[in-house]
């Protein structure tokens, strides 16, 4: 800090996870905080929706206008006509949405199911384990066989890569399973480049070999699993040659990996949300969870399935209890269906007000063209709390300036470790920016919500979470976090969370989606300096050249007449994009890749990859959209 300005940001050298290193995407975070394009005052739209034409207004005027419009909509159409939309743009436990959820629940509005990432993986793991909890990822240093399944750890989970290297130095083999030869795959000891969506078939092949070659412990299966016989029957025809035909993985590699995983222990699988973004995503995650289960890998410290640690936080802080005590929404929609929700004339009542915070749905959600069609409705009143004029904010009627992580108080969770951090503000809010919770305190007052629960201070919210009597919080107090900054959950390293669990197995469904067009499209988190839409609007974060490029395999490029750097049109029934091509053998024939997170200005059409991606969600509206089950045509421009 210098004169109230943040001038340098770095990882804490003695923190057990970061060890002085930041995730590359936040190395330039202070550029974002002090950027001249920050929204620092409330804005009211003056031009057409999407034009980006706004004029400053006062907070009093903005809050009063929101209150007036909400009261009018509630009186005429009912609170179900109001829809909040939020996700992980602000990731702290309290600023992410505690007061926001209370506010909208008290009004009785509709809501979204925040399932864009994570829920499908959660459910698939729980189908086998009974809970989505896996091992502490940092215990992977104990493993001697590590499979990184559909996760680009070196790029998107940089701190864990140190743990992976530690395991390798102690003798572990690192195996990567991915349809794309990622930066992680290039650093692996063994790379299985499977056909997109054939993950279940590969798991079936591995279990078939383990069963055929006597690598499974019948006593373990009998004492710790149910329906193991049905599982083994379902993989009876998944021979190495059949698995090769289904997945593209050579038969001898299938045999070698099956033997390694069963015999060289501790053995662990690390998987996050990449594999879940398919129509069979839950089945893929269920299959992956079966691998350490059939081998009894859970018996060893450092063995089992390493997932997101989010479930530990949900349990420790009682966040499910907080949700359960709220009034249920008038109705809920999977957040991947926003385009449909805003444009379907049969939805009754139609959505007349949209309040977006912690999210940029015009970029991150599928069905982008319908989302923009909906955002441009003149009879939709849209409010966006933001730091910059994103593609969503450009369509708002009111934009409210929101603080960044170093301007507000929060409790910082993690997806990859078990250390709780107190996020104290380093600087005063820039301009007139306000934390999310303060925005919803103002709105609660305006809408006459006087109950104390709508006006708790940020410190009181954090203290309340820490006072939960869950044993993982033993010894973690407000005072300790103020003094030390962070504290680990009261969980011993090397804990075996499922050593005594009875697991549910059952048959595997090996069906693979049929092609709908010549090429399958996968959207990747590609570049270390910007992995998510939050970081895509700054030149310093962009790759070279500074626009998205479609990766095409040399065989396909030759057949199409595509040249490296040449322009191509990628299209399907949902949309069309014109981009430059990169001829690359990182992808496989029939698979093309386009990076996730770019803004609309990155293509001539004013759209990005989610103009093409598949918005289909499970029939029960629970879980992720099938982003990666996207089929496209490609033409040289």
Which of 501, 23, 1 is closest to 224 using CA atoms? 501
Do 179 and 219 lie in one domain? The reply is yes
The per-residue pLDDT for range 558-609, each reduced to its tens digit, is 999 999 999 999 999 999 999 999 999 999 999 999 998 889 999 999 999 9
Do 110 and 155 lie in one domain? The reply is no
In the chain, the number of structural domains is 3
The pLDDT value given to residue 256? 98
CATH number at residue 148: 3.40.228.10
CATH number at residue 473: 3.40.50.740
Range of the domain at 608: 519-636
Do 442 and 453 lie in one domain? The reply is yes
Burial of 51 (0-12, 13-18, 19+ CB in 10 A): exposed
H helix count then E strand count, the chain = 21, 24
Do 165 and 76 lie in one domain? The reply is no
Name the strands in the sheet holding 173-177, side by side, starting at the edge strand that comes first in the sequence: 190-192, 173-177, 145-149, 267-270, 304-306
Q: Work out the percent of the chain whose per-residue pLDDT is above 70.
A: 99
Reported pTM: 0.96
- Does 178 reside within a domain? yes
Do 104 and 129 lie in one domain? The reply is no
Q: What whole-number distance in Å separates Cα of residue 251 and Cα of residue 255?
A: 6
- Residue 357: pLDDT over 70: yes
The per-residue pLDDT for range 297-354, each reduced to its tens digit, is 999 999 999 999 999 999 999 988 888 889 999 999 999 999 999 999 999 999 999 9
* Last residue of one domain, picked from the residues 307, 329, 363: 307
Do 170 and 211 lie in one domain? The reply is yes
Do 170 and 250 lie in one domain? The reply is yes
Do 134 and 45 lie in one domain? The reply is no
The pLDDT value given to residue 58? 98
Do 341 and 273 lie in one domain? The reply is no
The per-residue pLDDT for range 437-493, each reduced to its tens digit, is 999 999 999 999 999 999 999 999 999 999 988 999 999 999 999 999 999 999 999
Do 23 and 33 form a contact (C-beta atoms < 8 A)? no
- Per DSSP, helices labelled H in 15-97 are 29-33, 59-77
Which of the residue ranges 13-17, 368-372, 576-580 would you say has the lowest mean pLDDT? 13-17
Residue 541 pLDDT class (50, 70, 90 cuts): confident
- Does 74 reside within a domain? yes
Residues in the chain, overall count: 637
Q: Report which secondary-structure segment, H or E, holds 161.
A: helix 158-169
């Amino acid at each position: 800090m210098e004169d109230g300005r943040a001038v340098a940001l770095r990882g804490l050298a003695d923190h057990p996870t970061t060890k002085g290193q930041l995730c590359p995407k936040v190395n330039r975070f202070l550029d974002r905080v002090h950027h001249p394009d920050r929204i620092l005052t409330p804005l009211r739209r003056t031009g057409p929706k999407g034009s980006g034409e706004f004029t400053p207004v006062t907070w009093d005027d903005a809050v009063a206008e929101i209150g007036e419009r909400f009261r009018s909509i509630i009186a005429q159409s009912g609170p179900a006509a109001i829809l909040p939309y939020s996700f992980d743009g602000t990731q702290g436990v309290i600023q992410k949405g505690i007061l926001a959820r209370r506010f909208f629940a008290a009004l009785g509005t509709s809501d979204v199911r925040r399932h864009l990432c994570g829920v499908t993986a959660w459910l698939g793991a729980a189908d086998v384990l009974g809970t989505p909890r896996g091992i502490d990822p940092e215990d992977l240093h104990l493993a001697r066989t590590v499979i990184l399944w559909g996760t680009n750890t070196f790029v998107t989970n940089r701190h864990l890569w140190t743990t992976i290297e530690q395991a390798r130095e102690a003798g572990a083999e690192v195996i990567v399973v991915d349809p794309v030869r990622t930066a992680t795959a290039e650093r692996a000891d063994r790379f299985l480049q499977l056909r997109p969506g054939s993950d279940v078939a590969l798991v079936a092949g591995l279990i078939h070999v383990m069963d055929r070659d006597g690598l499974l412990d019948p006593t373990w299966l009998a004492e710790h699993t149910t329906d193991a016989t049905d599982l083994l029957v379902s993989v009876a025809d998944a021979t190495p040659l059949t698995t090769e035909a289904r997945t593209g993985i050579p038969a001898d590699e299938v045999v070698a990996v099956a033997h390694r995983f069963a015999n060289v222990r501790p053995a662990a699988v690390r998987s996050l949300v990449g594999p879940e973004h398919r129509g069979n995503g839950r089945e893929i995650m269920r299959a992956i969870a079966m691998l350490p289960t059939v081998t009894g890998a859970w018996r060893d410290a450092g063995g089992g399935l390493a997932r997101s640690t989010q479930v530990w936080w949900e349990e420790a802080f009682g966040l499910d209890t907080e949700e359960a005590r709220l009034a249920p929404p008038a109705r809920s929609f999977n957040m991947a269906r926003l385009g449909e929700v805003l444009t379907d004339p049969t939805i009754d009542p139609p959505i007349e007000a949209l309040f977006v915070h912690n999210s940029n749905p015009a970029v991150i959600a599928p069905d982008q063209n319908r989302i923009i069609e909906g955002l441009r409705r003149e009879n939709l009143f849209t409010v966006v709390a933001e730091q910059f004029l994103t593609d969503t904010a450009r369509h708002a009627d009111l934009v409210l300036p929101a603080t960044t992580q170093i301007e507000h108080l929060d409790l910082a969770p993690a997806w990859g470790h078990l250390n709780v951090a107190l996020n104290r503000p380093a600087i005063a809010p820039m301009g007139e920016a306000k934390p999310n919770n303060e925005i919803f305190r103002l709105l609660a007052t305006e809408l006459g919500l006087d109950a104390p629960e709508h006006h708790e201070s940020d410190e009181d919210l954090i203290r309340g979470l820490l006072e939960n009597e869950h044993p993982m919080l033993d010894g973690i107090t407000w005072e300790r976090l103020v003094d030390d900054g962070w504290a680990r959950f009261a969980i011993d390293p090397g804990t075996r969370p499922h050593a005594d669990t009875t697991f549910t197995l059952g048959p595997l469904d090996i069906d693979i989606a049929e092609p709908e067009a010549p090429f399958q499209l996968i959207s990747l988190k590609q570049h270390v300096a910007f992995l998510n839409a939050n970081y895509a609007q700054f030149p310093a974060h962009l790759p070279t050249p500074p626009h998205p490029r479609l990766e095409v395999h040399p065989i396909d490029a030759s057949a199409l007449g595509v040249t490296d750097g040449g322009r191509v049109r990628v299209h399907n029934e949902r949309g069309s994009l014109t981009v430059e091509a990169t001829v690359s053998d990182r992808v496989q024939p029939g698979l093309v890749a386009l990076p996730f997170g770019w803004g609309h200005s990155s293509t001539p059409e004013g759209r990005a990859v989610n103009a093409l991606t598949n918005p289909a969600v499970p029939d029960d509206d629970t879980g992720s959209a099938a982003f990666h089950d996207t089929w496209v045509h490609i033409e040289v421009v």
